[in-house]
Chain A
Amino acid sequence: MTTVETNAAASYQRFMPADHPVQYLAPDGTDVESAARYARTSDDRLLEMYRSMVHGRRFDQQATALTKQGRLAVYPSARGQEACQIAAALCLGPQDWMFPTYRDSMALAARGVNQVELLGMLAGYWHCGYDPKQYHVAPQCTPLATQLLHATGFAYAEAKQGRDTVALAFCGDGATSEGDFHEALNFAAVFRAPVIFLVQNNGFAISVPLARQSAAPSLAHKGVGYGIGSEQVDGNDPIAMMSVMDEAVNYVRAERGPVIVEAHTYRMDAHTNADDATRYRKADEVEGWLARDPLSRLDAYLGGAGLLTDELRTEITVSADADAAELRAGMNVEQSVDPEDLFRFVYSTPTPALLDQREQIAAEIAAGELS
């Protein structure tokens, strides 16, 4: 490959996709000899990661259960994607921002977003549910790939103001086919925006397999054409995820430029609770991926290394159960809604037409026609 003369060329080539996803742990939790392309994350952080992954999975399970009780309109599960989402949350500093999608709730919970607020959108109370500024987490985005541009503009603007902010934007494999994905990569490269694009390649966009999204050697390779450093990683290998994400954050912060990380993973449940995944994938495929479960992989490794005792396991499970119980209890309390909210946040001040409509709603409430 010839070297293109750009200001970015020298540094981004440090980050070129390997032929195979970076992997530190085999599915059985044993070390993979050939790894070590990146500094390996510490055992302390791996224990933190384990704790957070157990909590993440429990949260996901609880949210799924809440759909069955009618508490949530819908829930897009991320079971199987714990390593990706938790690594994403843990690699960021408090000043950094996340730009997530609907499927990244576990990452948000790990970031510290209040669980009940986090599900406020799916429970139907409020489109965002939480205050983005409080957690440095943009609203979960539903129109695919659109948030990647917000992350890019935001990262650029923060750097321009001399702030040391990294923006981490999430998307799925399907979203890489959208125009905004490409526009975001291009803008980020041209403007040297400190943004990480984390593509969680879970194999499917609802029912459509990866082969229908892309014929590229990998989704990480898409960075190459834009002059963006890129890497692919085993998304079910918690050590690899953490090591690569740490490196990505360091790189982005130091170089003030973007990076794309493709995490190869699998969505163990259907697209949402409303989807029937048996229509488009076979049971043995799912079985195969269950054997690569990121949580049991880390459990096996930490257990084998003598870092995770049964006692600690129990302690973590109990604490995750307690969180889930708290979430259940929180979601069982019917929150009040304020009809004034309908009009308060459309413009900075309600227009005359909105004031008329506000009066109309107030009158209907007063007449007992609405409550």
Chain B
Amino acid sequence: MTTLTMAGALNAALRDALTEDEKVVVFGEDVGTLGGVFRVTDGLMRDFGDDRCFDTPLAESGIVGFAIGMAMSGYKPVVEMQFDAFAYPAFEQIVSHVAKLRNRTRGSLTAPMVIRIPFAGGIGGVEHHCDSSEAYYAHTPGLKVVAPSTVADAYSLMREAIADPDPVIFLEPKRLYFSKDDIELTKNEPIGTAVVRRPGTDVTVLAYGPTVSVALQAAEFAAEDGRSVEVVDLRLLSPFDDATVAASVRKTGRCVVVQEAQSFAGVGAEIAARVQERCFHHLHAPVLRVGGLDIPYPAPKLEHFHLPSADRVLDAIERLQWNDTPDLSTAVSV
């Protein structure tokens, strides 16, 4: 057991991967001497040399495009995008090339790499530092999209992401970077499964990344009202673990999806549709979504209006038609 922050766990994962596989290289903006603005790459350049961990020119498309070439030549790049909204210059390289190289070349060339993106808000950041961009990536075939919510998962998922033969978008919830836990540094199974964080029988709340703790808090409150809430941490958004999710919802018969991202056309919409397709006859109420407002990420003094809170999740749970007479007029998402 070691006590680590999430940033520390990610650092340990990178360290272990760099030690085990000489083809792993870490690069990006300020990842070398500084150790990254969130210190995730702290000390890696010092300990592994600037051949294995290095700073690049300040150019996101350049970083990802360069990583593609390195991957084609046999390396396993782990690159850092400094903040979510600063990954957009690299979007073309990610969707047109990283995601498609295997497909275009029938597997002759592939671009396995990990693109680390500090994401989402709740840290009082100024504009362009708090976007939830997961839907863009999850919508892109060929990419895997991962978001840890615990310190242990941050370590394990990062190890799995680096070992994975496919490119992985690794979304690191900024507000959890300095959350602490006692963990074993172990790898789990390959990327692919959601996990039940809190078992329950009355309603399933699906969450990922920064909203898992919100869901757990709502589950605590709901327990006081006598409702047993099961919280499932999705861990990965693509590929989606339909099996774990459907098993939970079939058991509870009710489902709320929580995401911090703006709601419209978000990942939550996809999840709600999948749950309805698979669990329709088990559902006592429509699947509800609790998401951010459909606005550009607000200024720090306003972000508490935007972010899904435990209260909002509780509200949604209460609107899940607990009486026998269904009232569809309440089936509106926040």
Report A103-147 CB contacts with B as 1/0, cut-off 8 Å.
Answer: 000000000000000000000001110011110001100010010
Tell which of B8-16, B103-111, B207-215, B255-263 binds the partner. Answer: B103-111
Contact yes or no, A132 B108, CB < 8 A: yes
Complex Cα gap A156–B89 (Å): 22
CB-defined contacts of B144 to chain A, threshold 8 Å = 347
Q: With A180-B62, A187-B59 as known contacts, state yes or no: A157 contacts B70, CB within 8 Å.
A: yes
Q: With A179-B89, A190-B57 as known contacts, state yes or no: A156 contacts B104, CB within 8 Å.
A: no
Contact yes or no, B72 A180, CB < 8 A: no
Contact yes or no, B142 A153, CB < 8 A: no
- The residue in B74, B104, B108 that gathers the most chain A C-beta atoms within 10 A of its C-beta is B104
Q: B97 an interface residue at 8 Å Cβ cutoff? A: yes
Tell which of B117-125, B235-243, B304-312 binds the partner. Answer: B235-243
Near B by CB (< 8 A), chain A positions 140-180 give 143, 146, 148-158, 160-161, 167, 179-180
Q: A284 an interface residue at 8 Å Cβ cutoff? A: no
Q: A2 an interface residue at 8 Å Cβ cutoff? A: no
Q: B33 an interface residue at 8 Å Cβ cutoff? A: no
CB-defined contacts of B239 to chain A, threshold 8 Å = 347, 351-353
Complex Cα gap A185–B141 (Å): 30
Complex Cα gap A352–B274 (Å): 13
Q: A344 an interface residue at 8 Å Cβ cutoff? A: yes
Which residue on A lies nearest to B167, using beta carbons?
Answer: A347
- The residue in B66, B100, B108, B240 that gathers the most chain A C-beta atoms within 10 A of its C-beta is B66
CB-defined contacts of A160 to chain B, threshold 8 Å = 51
Give B65 Cβ to nearest chain A Cβ, in Å.
3
Give B16 Cβ to nearest chain A Cβ, in Å.
22
Q: B61 an interface residue at 8 Å Cβ cutoff? A: yes
| Chain B contact residue count (CB 8 A cutoff) | 44
Q: A183 an interface residue at 8 Å Cβ cutoff? A: yes
Q: With A154-B70, A157-B74, A187-B57 as known contacts, state yes or no: A149 contacts B62, CB within 8 Å.
A: yes
Give B137 Cβ to nearest chain A Cβ, in Å.
14
CB-defined contacts of A133 to chain B, threshold 8 Å = 108-109
| Chain A contact residue count (CB 8 A cutoff) | 42
Complex Cα gap A133–B68 (Å): 15
Contact yes or no, B104 A150, CB < 8 A: no
Question: Contact check: which of B65, B97, B107 meets A345 at CB < 8 Å?
Answer: B107
Near B by CB (< 8 A), chain A positions 301-330 give none
Contact yes or no, A154 B72, CB < 8 A: yes
CB-defined contacts of B242 to chain A, threshold 8 Å = 352-353
Q: With A150-B97, A348-B165 as known contacts, state yes or no: A157 contacts B69, CB within 8 Å.
A: yes
Q: B221 an interface residue at 8 Å Cβ cutoff? A: no
Contact yes or no, B104 A187, CB < 8 A: no
Q: A341 an interface residue at 8 Å Cβ cutoff? A: yes
CB-defined contacts of A155 to chain B, threshold 8 Å = 69
Complex Cα gap A341–B67 (Å): 26
Question: Contact check: which of B62, B72, B96, B100 meets A187 at CB < 8 Å?
Answer: B62
Complex Cα gap A352–B236 (Å): 14
Q: B75 an interface residue at 8 Å Cβ cutoff? A: yes
Question: Contact check: which of A151, A186, A345 meets B106 at CB < 8 Å?
Answer: A345
Name the 3 nearest CB pairs between A and B, nearest first: A153-B69, A149-B65, A183-B62
* 23 residue pairs bridging A and B, Cβ less than 8 Å apart: A132-B105, A132-B108, A133-B108, A149-B69, A150-B65, A153-B67, A153-B68, A153-B69, A153-B72, A155-B69, A157-B70, A167-B69, A183-B61, A186-B57, A186-B59, A187-B56, A187-B57, A344-B106, A344-B107, A346-B141, A346-B142, A348-B164, A352-B243
